[in-house]
Amino acid sequence: MVLYMRIRHKNFANPLQAYFGLGDVLFFVSITPLFELKKYLVFLITSMLFAIILYFLFLKEKEIKSIPLAGFSSILLGFILIVKNFLEPFFLLLC
């Protein structure tokens, strides 16, 4: 993603200063123990797509130029944890 942004903007700035916030990095580092590597990568990609979708649905009209990636990703993580912890036992009863 950093490579794409550098090529697109022809800018070789520090990605933490230009594209990602410190909160985004800290959030994604702090949730690494929750997932295996393959599932973490799927979550990372899914959460970025989820953040882009939510940005275009809710924030594009307000002309906000930054996407709150950690905030939108935490919403997705909360949804995943709720589904996993509360709905999974009901699915086991059906099988």
Contact present, 27 and 74 (Cβ < 8 Å): yes
Identify the band that residue 9 occupies on the pLDDT scale cut at 50, 70 and 90: low
CA count, 13 A, side-chain hemisphere, 15: 9
Domain span at 49? 2-94
| 51 touches 38 (CB < 8 A) | no
Q: Count the domains in the chain.
A: 1
Which band of pLDDT confidence, cut at 50, 70 and 90, is reported for residue 14?
low
pLDDT in tens, 62-72: 777 778 889 99
What is the rounded CA–CA span in Å between residue 52 and residue 56?
6
Q: Per the structure block, which two tokens stand in for 15?
A: 């990605």
Predicted model pTM: 0.72
- Band (83; pLDDT cuts 50, 70, 90): confident
